[in-house]
């Protein structure tokens, strides 16, 4: 009986609390609705300050402006895709691959007494039966002139024994000649016989800013031709180790980072701005990550492209030092595997540069992370005389040297 009384008391308290709260709420709402305007406005301000102002619906003209802006961007990107797609191609490598034939023979020689016990025993053997043309790799590329010159990555066309062709947006297959492969940047120049090709104008990668729209086009996964992906420029002046080349990993410096999808097969395709200009050559993606791709700035490739078109080869200047970027410049030092800091018979060795020197300036330009030594060298030409400001044993000195051509190895 005592337990039942306790339960009834608890229920009674809960019921009274609920009724009291309900009546209080009804009375409060009634009083607010009947209160003068100044009081209701004060209450509203207190509520807004407590929970934040509720967003008001967009006005009709504001909504229309935003919709028109978004629609204009979509129309612009669609127009760029239509204009540049005919200039983007798939680059295909084919080789004569041996055709291996399988056949069966008896393991016993004629007259072997064991043959009578295993008359049907046969073992497999293999032999070459000629060769056949086989596609061994594919990537992307794009025309940079109407007379048939294309850009792609060096690792897409690095096999000197393969034959290369391009497949255009309208599925025409055209034979391609490798004009030059760049030993500094992961780029190569191809040539197609003929003329009047659609081409992509080259932009200015120095004017690229983080956050601006980036458009990548290429032969995604070697299967989906002229795939278009949209993103932004996520970072600038990145340094990465790119794998996938037959010659092993290589360092790419000063590259553009983007979240526009750069999948396998996109290598060699263009990275575009909203003017439809190529600002980069798509080269790599981060393994084990989503939407982290890298593109070589187009300004780094313009001189090499011009060399290939006018001279039939790429001429890279060099001074012959191995270095790491320090806070105040380029510290000349040996490689981690014992490589010499100063290359024998190089411009640097003849000029007297020593291991441990810090190159502060190159041609009057201070060496920084934004202007590393390799970038400054590539802006010059073979034969240029350049003055280097060097810190040695705590003292600054100046050394003159003449840039020479890096030999392809």
- Cα gap 155→174, rounded to integer Å: 20
pLDDT score at 7: 64
User: Could you list the mean pLDDT of each consecutive 10-residue stretch along the chain, which spans 409 residues?
Assistant: 59 70 67 60 60 66 74 89 94 81 79 76 79 77 95 92 91 93 90 93 95 92 83 91 67 90 88 96 84 92 92 91 90 87 92 94 91 88 94 94 82
E strand segments, 10-147: 88-105, 123-143
Task: Look at residue 255 in the predicted model and tell me its pLDDT.
Answer: 93
Active site residue 267: yes
Q: Any idea what DSSP says for residue 321? A: B
Residue 186 among the catalytic residues = yes
**Structure tokens that stand for 80 in this block:** 């760029």
Among 85, 137, 138, 155, the active-site one is 155
* Catalytic residue list contains 155: yes
Determine the CATH number of domain 88-107+116-192: 2.40.10.10
- Beta strands of 109-183 (E only): which ranges? 123-143, 149-152, 163-167, 173-181
Where in the chain are all domains bearing CATH 2.30.42.10?
317-405
Which pLDDT score is estimated for 127?
77
Question: What distance in Å separates the CA atoms of residue 134 and residue 162, rounded to the nearest whole number?
Answer: 10
**How far apart are the C-alpha atoms of 215 and 203, rounded to whole Å?**
13
* pLDDT score of 286: 85
**Residue of 267, 307, 346, 357 marked active site:** 267
- CB neighbours (10 Å) of residue 131? 11
318 neighbors 379 (Cβ within 8 angstroms): no
pLDDT on residue 230? 94
pLDDT of residue 384: 94
Indicate where the chain has its CATH 2.40.10.10 domain(s).
88-107+116-192, 205-310
pTM comes to: 0.71
CATH class of 205-310: mainly beta
H/E stretch holding 391: strand 385-392
- Catalytic, out of 182, 186, 307, 357: 186
Angle of helix 2-34 versus helix 37-51 axis, rounded to 10: 120
Fold of 317-405: Pdz3 Domain (2.30.42)
């Amino acid at each position: 009986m005592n337990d039942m009384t306790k339960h009834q008391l608890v229920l009674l308290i809960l019921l009274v609390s609920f009724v009291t709260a309900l009546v209080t709420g009804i009375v409060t709402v009634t009083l607010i609705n009947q209160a003068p305007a100044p009081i209701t406005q004060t209450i509203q301000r207190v509520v807004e300050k407590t929970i934040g102002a509720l967003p008001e619906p967009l006005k009709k003209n504001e909504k229309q402006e935003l919709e028109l802006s978004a629609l204009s961007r979509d129309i612009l990107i669609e127009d760029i895709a239509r204009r540049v797609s005919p200039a983007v191609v798939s680059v295909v490598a084919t080789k004569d691959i041996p055709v291996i034939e399988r056949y069966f023979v008896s393991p016993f020689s004629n007259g072997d007494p064991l043959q009578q016990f295993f008359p049907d025993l046969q073992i497999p053997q293999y032999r070459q039966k000629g060769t056949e043309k086989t596609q061994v790799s594919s990537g992307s590329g794009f025309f940079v002139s109407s007379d048939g010159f294309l850009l792609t990555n060096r690792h897409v066309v690095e096999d000197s024994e393969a034959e290369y062709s391009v497949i255009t947006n309208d599925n025409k297959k055209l034979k391609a000649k490798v004009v030059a492969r760049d030993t500094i940047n992961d780029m190569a120049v191809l040539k197609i016989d003929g003329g009047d090709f659609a081409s992509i104008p080259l932009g200015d990668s120095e004017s690229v800013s983080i956050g601006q729209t980036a458009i990548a086009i290429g032969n995604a996964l070697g299967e989906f031709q002229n795939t278009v992906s949209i993103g932004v420029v996520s970072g600038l002046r990145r340094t990465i180790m790119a794998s996938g080349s037959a010659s092993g990993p290589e360092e790419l410096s000063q590259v553009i980072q983007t979240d526009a999808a750069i999948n396998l097969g996109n290598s060699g395709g263009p990275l575009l701005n909203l003017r439809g200009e190529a600002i980069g050559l798509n080269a790599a993606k981060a393994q084990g990550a989503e939407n982290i791709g890298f593109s070589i700035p187009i300004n780094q490739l313009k001189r090499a492209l011009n060399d290939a078109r006018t001279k039939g080869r790429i001429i890279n200047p060099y001074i012959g030092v191995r270095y790491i970027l320090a806070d105040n410049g380029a510290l000349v030092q040996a490689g981690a595997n014992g490589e010499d800091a100063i290359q024998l018979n190089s411009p640097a060795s003849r000029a007297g540069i020593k291991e441990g020197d810090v190159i502060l300036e190159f041609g009057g330009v201070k060496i920084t992370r934004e202007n590393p030594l390799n970038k400054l060298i590539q802006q010059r030409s073979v034969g240029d005389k350049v003055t280097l400001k060097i810190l040695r044993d705590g003292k600054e000195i100046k050394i003159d040297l003449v840039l020479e051509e890096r030999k392809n190895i």
